[in-house]
Amino acid sequence: MTRWWSRLRPDNFTLALLATVVLASVLPLTGAAAKGFDRFTDIAIAALFFLHGARLPRESIIAGLLHWRLHITILVCTFVLFPLLGLAMKPVAGWALTPELYIGVLFLCALPSTVQSSIAFTSIAGGNVPAAVCAASLSSILGVFLTPLLMTVLAGSQGAMANPLHAVGAIMLQLLVPFVLGHLLRPWIGRWIERRRPLLRYTDQGTVLLVVYAAFGESVNEGLWRNTPPLSLLAAALVAVVLLAIAMPGIGWLARRLGFNRADRITIVFCGSKKSLATGVPIAKVLFAGGSLGAIVLPIMIYHQIQLIVCSVVAQRYAKQNAETAQQ
């Protein structure tokens, strides 16, 4: 029971997310304070992606790109399979989800893969770590372009989305340009950042908390909790569970059918089934600047915690199987 509770218990970051939502619900910023805080979060987001770019080794990019079949498979799972699953959830939206939450489900399905946790779980499970580094990073970079375009196809004019071309330009300016600049400066600052790995993790998590606070504060001022029934929140959680329950086994089956070895299959399962909260929240901030941002990011916040719990269990199972095989 203790072991199972340790797996199911929310991690510190999830608890911090919940506390941030509560704080934004009780003390939302308004007026000039909200505008000033919004500008501060823009700077924090740019700094976050600058550090990500400085940390990514160029050798990993070159080595990983050579494994093109694996990368195409992961990108198809991320940007084709998930959007199709999101569209399949539309009947649920008619009676259980509010329109904003369903836009959030579609947005979740259009997001790129995570970087840090995909690599971490792949390493624990004994997968192809260099390929995971490249695949997750490539997914994150392509998400800058593909997520806004996919949302245009999936949601159309719903959710008060920005013009997709303007959104891509704004997202590139805020995310991709700092990322490229950080990568170009890696020869001079890379070692300093490698010696301070916790800095990137805390910057990552802190930036997400800042954006979540700003997003929920704005949505609370617009009546988020008054307009979102408890049944809809429960339905959003159920949809997140169903998405992951379909995606992980389906992606594993696809990887086996395509003839990948065990290490590559592990990489495909973890990189192809995970969705990035750290990338998703900044993209949502630009893409839905005029919409109910708090409700739209709720599904990815729920999915984030579920994927961490499930992937932790699956990674440990893979590791146990690897140990048993080694003993035999």
Indicate the average pLDDT of the chain. 83
Predicted TM-score (pTM) of the model is: 0.82
**Confidence label for 8 from pLDDT (cuts 50, 70 and 90):** low
Burial class (CB in 10 A: 0-12, 13-18, 19+), 317: exposed
Residue 141 in tokens: 């970079």
- pLDDT of 6 > 60? The answer is no
- pLDDT of 88 > 70? The answer is yes
The CA distance from 226 to 223, in Å, is 5
pLDDT digits (tens, 9 = 90+) for 155-206: 875 655 556 667 677 777 777 788 889 888 988 888 888 787 766 667 777 8
**Which whole number is the average pLDDT over 130-155?**
86
Q: CA dist 233 to 93, 150, 227, 238, 296, Å?
A: 12, 24, 11, 9, 12
Distance of CA 121 to the CA centre of its chain: 15
% pLDDT > 70, the chain: 88
Place of tokens 């005029």: 290
Sequence letter at residue 244: L
Per-residue model confidence (pLDDT) at position 82: 97
Judge whether 238 and 270 are in contact, CB under 8 Å. no
Per-residue model confidence (pLDDT) at position 137: 80
The CA distance from 195 to 295, in Å, is 38
Judge whether 251 and 81 are in contact, CB under 8 Å. yes
Q: At what angle do helices 129-155 and 99-110 cross, to 10 degrees?
A: 140
pLDDT digits (tens, 9 = 90+) for 244-259: 999 999 999 999 999 9
Residue 52 in tokens: 């990500």
Sequence letter at residue 12: N
pLDDT digits (tens, 9 = 90+) for 205-214: 788 788 788 8
pLDDT digits (tens, 9 = 90+) for 22-67: 898 888 888 888 888 888 888 887 887 788 778 777 766 666 567 8
Tell me how many degrees the CA angle 63-66-68 measures, rounded to the nearest 5.
135
Query: 208, 194, 221: which is closest to 18 by C-alpha?
Result: 208
The CA distance from 254 to 251, in Å, is 5
